[in-house]
């Protein structure tokens, strides 16, 4: 089957539609850890407008120690060839409320080297504390 640019654009739109209605927070990060996409569920859970998150570094939500843990996990994925890892992280929403989240982190396609990650947030819960 030959894929034309129109087919690719349609596939991307279908994928975005699925991600939007999935009901779970989903995001993509570039290779520098900056948000390139957040779905409505993540925006709502984090208390940020989607447009204000895109372009921001993931540290706006995650604590520094968990940013480093994620970097280490991504390095391991790249070294081992595994595609996905799971971890629990401490986060904070726009109001400063502490959250705990289970993340499933996967590498984006590696056609031209490391391009970034896609993440699915599961079991998001409030710790009740604020910064």
Read off the pLDDT of residues 55-107 as tens digits, 9 standing for 90 and up. 999 999 999 999 999 999 999 999 998 989 999 999 999 999 999 999 999 99
Tell me how far apart the alpha carbons of residues 11 and 61 are, in angstroms, rounded to a whole number.
30
**Predicted TM-score (pTM) of this structure:** 0.83
Cβ contact 61:92 at 8 Å: yes
Statement: residue 20 has pLDDT above 50: yes
| Cβ neighbours for 23, distance < 8 A, ≥ 6 positions apart | 41
Range of the domain at 63: 5-130
**Mean pLDDT on 18-33:** 86
The predicted structure's pLDDT at residue 100 = 94
More confident residue, 123 or 75: 75
Percent of the chain with pLDDT over 70: 87
Statement: residue 120 has pLDDT above 90: yes
Tokens of 98: 């502490």
Tell me how far apart the alpha carbons of residues 30 and 72 are, in angstroms, rounded to a whole number.
16
The predicted structure's pLDDT at residue 1 = 43
Tell me how far apart the alpha carbons of residues 107 and 28 are, in angstroms, rounded to a whole number.
10
Q: How many domains, in total, are found in the chain?
A: 1
**Residue appearing with tokens 């401490």:** 90
Cβ contact 77:85 at 8 Å: yes
The predicted structure's pLDDT at residue 22 = 75
Residue of 61, 8, 15, 11 whose CA lies nearest to 34: 61
CATH of residue 45's domain is 3.30.450.20
Number of Cβ within a 10 Å radius of residue 27: 24
Q: Say how many residues make up the chain.
A: 131
């Amino acid at each position: 089957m030959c894929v034309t640019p129109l087919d690719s654009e349609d596939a991307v739109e279908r994928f975005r539609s699925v991600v939007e209605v999935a009901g779970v927070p989903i995001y993509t990060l570039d290779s520098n850890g900056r948000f390139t996409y957040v779905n409505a569920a993540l925006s709502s859970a984090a208390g940020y407008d989607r447009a204000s998150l895109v372009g921001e570094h993931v540290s706006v939500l995650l604590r520094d120690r968990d940013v480093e843990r994620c970097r280490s996990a991504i390095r391991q994925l790249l070294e081992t060839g595994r595609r996905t890892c799971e971890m629990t992280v401490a986060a904070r929403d726009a109001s400063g409320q502490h959250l705990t989240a289970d993340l499933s982190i996967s590498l984006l396609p590696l056609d031209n080297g490391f391009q970034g990650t896609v993440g699915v947030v599961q079991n998001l819960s409030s710790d009740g504390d604020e910064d």
